[in-house]
């Protein structure tokens, strides 16, 4: 078996605003395996500024993984625990190589026509831009929206959500917000009370990660259900995962396979969270359709009916043609559409 890797830059159709700035491009890497006539591909979806493995030595670790591919997935997963996006790519590549076809990684109803409910993602921007996105997503059939907040004046964001709520009550539209750690611990209680009054489902990461005591206090008060996101990044030891969940006791955790170390790590988080009555859902992290396809197939096998965060595939102008399609608030796998297999295979040669 031989392995290789190649860097690929995804271009946003429209810049995406977050509390960390505006994104125009997204770096990713493809890891390719070849065994005779069989080949497999996986996406090592590095996220600059957020990934734990956004540090010196990434290319060297990719080279090392390719040079040691003969050791097998389990040994590589253990060795590369602290390089989560590499583990994510390796898990895909091995499944891709061993599957009936390179893009069939998990068996589930998703690839035969059962869609996955997803939230509509509303990017940060000025109030007019956010309002336009909200109107469009609702018209497209979304009944769960996730709003990125933290870049505008908080009163402006509150007024925007209030306006949506006046037209669409809780029973008709679920609203989640993601603060990406934009609030200080001092600001958070008052702001959570204001958001909770609007009947929101939850808030992701109201304060920055690493403040376990302050986050635990917010979760205990339960003004608004809290979902941990960035808080999970950088933890691969099972005992440390238990310590985090025990210390903070969040209402939810958000699983981003490329940031937490792939599917096996995600299933471990799910098991540990379930033992503590903590809910969860899965979110993509700006992968190409290669990584998104793998995440969606894995998620479908988890048999959850909660809306997932898997609607990012249409953000890029140079994404890969695929059967993936968002429609009516769901992610679909249109089996009558083809992958651009020649293009994907060419990345591996």
Tell me if 346 is assigned to some domain.
no
Name the 3-class secondary structure at 331: strand
- Rounded Cα distance between 319 and 252, Å, is 31
Q: In this structure, are 233 and 168 located in the same domain?
A: yes
pLDDT tens digits for range 201-251: 999 999 999 999 999 999 999 999 999 999 999 999 999 999 999 999 999
The stretch 1-11 carries a mean pLDDT of 94
Q: Is 295 exposed, middle or buried (0-12, 13-18, 19+ CB in 10 A)?
A: buried
Q: In this structure, are 143 and 267 located in the same domain?
A: yes
Q: In this structure, are 173 and 60 located in the same domain?
A: no
8 A C-beta contact, residue 63 and residue 85: no
The stretch 296-318 carries a mean pLDDT of 91
User: What is the DSSP code (8-state) at residue 312?
Assistant: -
- Positions marked catalytic: 148, 256
Looking up residue 19, the CATH number of its domain turns out to be 3.30.390.10
Residues spanned by the domain of 85: 2-102
8 A C-beta contact, residue 6 and residue 290: no
Q: In this structure, are 142 and 283 located in the same domain?
A: yes
Q: In this structure, are 117 and 96 located in the same domain?
A: no
Q: In this structure, are 115 and 13 located in the same domain?
A: no
Distance, C-alpha 41 to centroid of its chain:
19
Q: In this structure, are 140 and 77 located in the same domain?
A: no
Write down the mean pLDDT value for the chain: 93
Q: In this structure, are 152 and 278 located in the same domain?
A: yes
Boundary (domain end) residue, out of 74, 102, 130: 102
The residue among 88 and 338 whose pLDDT is bigger is: 88
Q: In this structure, are 206 and 312 located in the same domain?
A: yes
Q: In this structure, are 158 and 87 located in the same domain?
A: no
Tell me if 348 is assigned to some domain.
no
The stretch 305-326 carries a mean pLDDT of 91
Read off the pTM.
Answer: 0.95
User: What is the DSSP code (8-state) at residue 297?
Assistant: H
Enter the tokens of residue 153. 């004046």
Looking up residue 325, the CATH number of its domain turns out to be 3.20.20.120
The residue among 51 and 220 whose pLDDT is bigger is: 220
Tell me if 283 is assigned to some domain.
yes
Phi, psi of 49 (to 5 degrees): 85, -10
Poorest-pLDDT segment among 123-132, 139-148, 273-282: 123-132
pLDDT tens digits for range 59-74: 999 999 999 999 999 9
Q: Assess whether pLDDT exceeds 90 at residue 349.
A: no
Q: In this structure, are 311 and 197 located in the same domain?
A: yes
Give how many domains the chain has, as a whole number: 2
Q: In this structure, are 40 and 153 located in the same domain?
A: no
Give the pLDDT band (50/70/90) at residue 20. low
Tell me if 349 is assigned to some domain.
no
């Amino acid at each position: 078996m031989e392995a290789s890797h190649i860097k690929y830059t995804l271009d946003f159709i429209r810049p995406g605003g977050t509390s960390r700035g505006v994104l125009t491009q997204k770096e990713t890497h493809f890891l390719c395996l070849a065994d005779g006539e069989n080949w497999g591909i996986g996406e090592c979806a590095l996220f600059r500024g957020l990934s734990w493995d956004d540090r010196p030595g990434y290319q060297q670790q990719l080279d090392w993984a390719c040079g040691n591919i003969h050791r097998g997935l389990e040994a590589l997963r253990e060795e590369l625990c602290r390089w989560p996006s590499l583990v994510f790519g390796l898990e895909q590549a091995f499944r891709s190589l061993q599957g009936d076809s390179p893009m069939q990684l998990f068996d589930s109803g998703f690839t035969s026509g059962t869609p996955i409910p997803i939230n509509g993602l509303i990017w940060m921007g000025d109030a007019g831009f956010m309002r336009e996105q909200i109107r469009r997503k609702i018209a497209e059939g979304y009944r769960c929206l996730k709003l990125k907040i933290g870049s505008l004046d908080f009163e402006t964001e509150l007024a925007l959500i209030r306006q949506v709520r006046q037209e669409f009550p809780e029973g008709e539209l679920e609203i989640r917000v993601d603060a990406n750690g934009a609030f200080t611990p001092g600001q958070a209680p008052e702001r959570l009370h204001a958001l909770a009054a609007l009947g929101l489902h939850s808030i992701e990461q109201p304060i920055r990660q690493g403040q376990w005591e302050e986050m635990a206090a917010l979760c205990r008060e339960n003004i608004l259900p809290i979902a941990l996101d960035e808080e999970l990044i950088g933890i691969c030891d099972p005992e440390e995962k238990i310590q985090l969940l025990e210390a903070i006791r969040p209402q939810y955790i958000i699983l981003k396979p490329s940031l937490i170390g792939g599917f096996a790590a995600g299933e471990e988080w799910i098991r540990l969270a379930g033992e503590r009555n903590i809910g969860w859902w899965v979110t993509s992290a700006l992968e190409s359709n290669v990584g998104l396809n793998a995440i969606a197939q894995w998620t479908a096998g988890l048999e959850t009916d909660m809306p997932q965060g898997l609607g990012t595939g249409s953000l890029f102008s140079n994404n890969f043609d695929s059967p993936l399609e968002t429609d009516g608030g769901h992610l679909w796998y249109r089996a009558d559409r083809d992958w651009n297999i020649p293009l994907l295979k060419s990345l591996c040669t």
